[in-house]
Amino acid sequence: MKVLFSPLALPQQGTIVFLVTQDTPLPTLAQKLDDQTQGALTRSMGVEQFTGKKNTLVNLVAPTHTELDRVILLGVESSSELDIQQSADTLIKHVETFNLTDIHVISETDTQAAHFAYGVQLSHYRFDKYRTRTELQAKCVLENLTVGCDDPKAAQELYQPLEAVAEGVKVTRDLIWEPANVVYPESFAQFCVCLKEHDLEVEVVNSKQMSELGMTSLLGVGQGSQHESLMVILKYTGAKESDEPIAFLGKGVTFDSGGLSLKPNTSMNTMKEDMGGAATVTGLMVALAKRQAKVNAIGVLGLVENMPSDKAQRPSDVVTSMSGQTIEVMNTDAEGRLVLCDLMTYTQRTFKPKAMFDLATLTGAVLVALGEEIAGIFSNNDELAEKITAAGEAEQEPVWRLPLGGQFDRLLKSEIADMRNDGNKPRIGGSSVAGQFLARFIENDTPWVHIDIAGTAWTGEGLPNKPKGATGYGVRLLDRMVKDQFETK
């Protein structure tokens, strides 16, 4: 879709969309068009009881005394950035019904123009790559969006970093949507290598190299698969070389059968999504690079496939993590933490980050606790937890802090190793037990947040600016946190 910002003017043909704030007069150009159509706009508003509330619109087809195809009055409710972005979602839901391929939006301000275009980019998404039958493909796709505003140049400058974030969200969504026979460790790594064009340094660490580093915990997860386990390091330098980086770690289990602790079929059907953490980190790194964020950032992806075979890891096996701590693997389906713990040790010892965030579709328990719209977070640092909570509120990608320590630490007790990889009381505090496991791998009090996105990485019904399916949750959240808290001014 092509986005263009133009000087404020009333088009004579096509489809016009006016953004209407709740309980305020119509924009000046809308009032002019209302006069031209002998009050058609205001009469339609009265019939529809339209007040500019979010999620509402008025659609006038071929209004009299004009050559226009449609005039749409779209409620944005308020001037907040989120309301403006989410109002675009309402319009996009009508693209096929109204046959909208080209629209001209009239905006009150440059900020409103930029954020509306951003909302359109977030909402106008479909994954149709594998649909070959015409009747299954989108009947209409928005091709051109023109947004009229007072200062098109200023709007474009505001839009440019937002467009970069939207591109990062799209990267994440595309990766999660892809089936596991297309995205597996080697192909995911190759995709990352191609990101060098976005000014990202990319390094792929193979299984032999990880074995030499002592990353036995991670390697154990993938040993039953035909695909080699890999670690990918994405590096972005946007500040002084001497500045400590922020690190983002992603669980990349490209398919999770559960291993020998085999999942039931109904639970396995969606397990191509289990690389959602790695996909989110990848999208975030693209966003930071494309908007030229003034920060140094490291993305570390652990790419494995968890499969049953005669070579697979067995329940009761003991592995030694890179940190030197031993782990009794009591459940091969509690594999994400085995991947992340070695990533955490490697990242801390290699890059010495000033803050570290890991993202993972880690536990079904967090979905039970918090649903599909809120991610669970765990942290050893109150200030960092508060920062990411504030970023979540700003981007409407909310998080909720869950507890660590105490009983959750005791539940990791093993009879023969330093710890076990699941709790010794089934179904008790599952998300916190997983978070506590990871907390044992923090070194030198590195500020750390674990984000469990098992509920938020995918939506079965669609949410504002998040079409049904892969949501891209976490890219906007972490980009906002970087922008507000870590970028050099």
Residues labelled catalytic: 263, 337
For the beta sheet containing 448-452, the strands, ordered from the edge strand earlier in sequence to the opposite edge, are 201-205, 230-237, 296-306, 246-256, 355-360, 448-452, 375-379, 399-401
CB neighbour class for 128 (10 Å; exposed up to 12, middle 13-18, buried from 19): exposed
120 closest CA partner among 170, 86, 159, 158: 86
218 closest CA partner among 363, 344, 315: 344
Q: What is the largest CA-CA distance in the chain?
A: 84
251 labelled binding-site residue: yes
319 closest CA partner among 205, 436, 211: 211
274 labelled binding-site residue: yes
333 labelled binding-site residue: yes
Residues 21, 79: Cα–Cα separation, whole Å: 7
Q: Please name the amino acid found at residue 438.
A: L
Residues 357, 346: Cα–Cα separation, whole Å: 14
287 closest CA partner among 485, 80, 478, 484: 478
Residues 30, 13: Cα–Cα separation, whole Å: 15
Cβ neighbors of 202 (< 8 A, separation 6 or more) are 192, 193, 195, 196, 232, 233, 234, 235
Beta pairing class for 326-329 and 317-320: antiparallel
CB 92, CB 142: distance < 8 Å: yes
For the annotated binding site, the residues are: 251, 256, 274, 333, 335
For the annotated binding site for Mn(2+), the residues are: 251, 256, 274, 333, 335
